[in-house]
Structure 1
Amino acid sequence: MADESVEKVAAPVTEKGEYEEFCEKVNAISSPLASRKLAKKVYKLIKKASKKRENLRQGLADVYKAVRHNETGIVILAAGFGLGNVTPIDIYSHIPALCESKDIPYVFTPSREHLGLAAGHKRPSILLLIKKSDEYGELFDEVRKTIEELPPPQ
């Protein structure tokens, strides 16, 4: 008999109108913000990277330490929305500048709940570092190129 207390973690799914609504409620420093299409690819990449612990750094302290120690990859930040809003934004407002100084591409997504779900958690996540792996190298390169082509923050 299956254990009914174990819940299946849902995938981050949003309709077009819902995604646009999320984007209207992001915090002031959320630039560059991922389009719905890019966010979908980012969530797919996170899901693949989360299969092996060494491919994904999660949380503010872990990502900050990894970037300071010159680990490379792509940094994904939650722009904040609704109950899971990232407040105060001073918690992670220094991360984009750190990424720029280390030449690490970064992008904001509008929902920290979706970042957590993509990583396979029930809890929200505000910050992730995805490291390149042979298992998903093509998708990683595609996402990295798209992020690098986004207009720089104002």
Structure 2
Amino acid sequence: MGRKSEVALDETMDTTVNGEAEPVTDKDAYEEQCALANEIASPMANRKLAKKVYKLIKKASGVKTAVRFGIADVSKGLRKNEKGIVVLAGNVTPIDIYSHIPAFCEDKGVPYVYTPSRESLGLAAGFRRSIIILLIRPNAEYQELYDELFETCNLLVPNTKEN
């Protein structure tokens, strides 16, 4: 019936989240993630392109209306004929969740590219949660990098219409 001893919390305790703070782009880890991608994940961004995609996502997520996250929001944007680049995660299961998006992008003339990890997409956007799909819209703050990736993604998916 005595008092329980109170344990003082250390003020200098490490409060960081376990895991990475940056998307993985080193060679071995990237190849492991690519091996875990699903069957429809094509065209898959190579390591160099994925690094540029993550950099663009990081810049675009700082602008309030530049990025649409999630299947419902991206589908709404595509239905409204918004132009941009669609980035999909390659390790999503079940694939029925977003298997209609590539055909929808080709019909609308929007380039798309897969990255191997949904966790890396979330980290690049500044979230602790994973993101399976996002639409990056053009903006003056990152226009040069956007144009470069837009052209590269158009070469990866030759069936998309010209904007």
Larger helix share, 1 or 2: 1
Q: Which residue of 2 aligns with 1:138?
A: 144
Unaligned 5+ segments in structure 1 are 81-85
Q: Deviations over 1:76-129 (max 9, x none)?
A: 00000xxxxx11100000000000000000000000000000000000000000
> C-alpha distance in 2, partners of 1:14/1:105?
22
Aligned residue pair count: 148
TM-score (norm. length: structure 1): 0.89
- Counterpart contact for 1:99–1:106, Cα < 8 Å: yes
Q: Which residue of 1 aligns with 2:121?
A: 115
The one of 27, 33, 36 aligned to 1:16: 27
Matched letter for residue 41 of structure 2: S
Q: Deviations over 1:41-98 (max 9, x none)?
A: 0000000000022000001110111111111100000000xxxxx1110000000000
Deviation at 1:151, TM superposition (A): 5.4
Q: Which has the higher contact order (CA 8 A, sep 6+)?
A: 1
Q: What is the correspondence of 1:52-63 to structure 2 with a 5 Å cutoff?
A: 52-63=63-74
- Counterpart contact for 1:105–1:148, Cα < 8 Å: yes
TM-score (norm. length: structure 2): 0.84
Percent identity of the aligned residues?
A: 59
The one of 63, 67, 78 aligned to 2:78: 67
Does 1:94 pair with 2:109?
A: no
- Counterpart contact for 1:31–1:152, Cα < 8 Å: no
RMSD of Structure 2 on Structure 1 (CA) = 2.1
Q: Deviations over 1:2-37 (max 9, x none)?
A: 997576x81213310111121122101101000000
Moved over 4 A (4+): 1-7
Q: Which residue of 2 aligns with 1:83?
A: none
Unaligned 5+ segments in structure 2 are 1-10
* DSSP 3-state at the match of 2:87: strand
> C-alpha distance in 1, partners of 2:94/2:35?
18
Q: Which residue of 1 aligns with 2:135?
A: 129
Larger Rg: 2
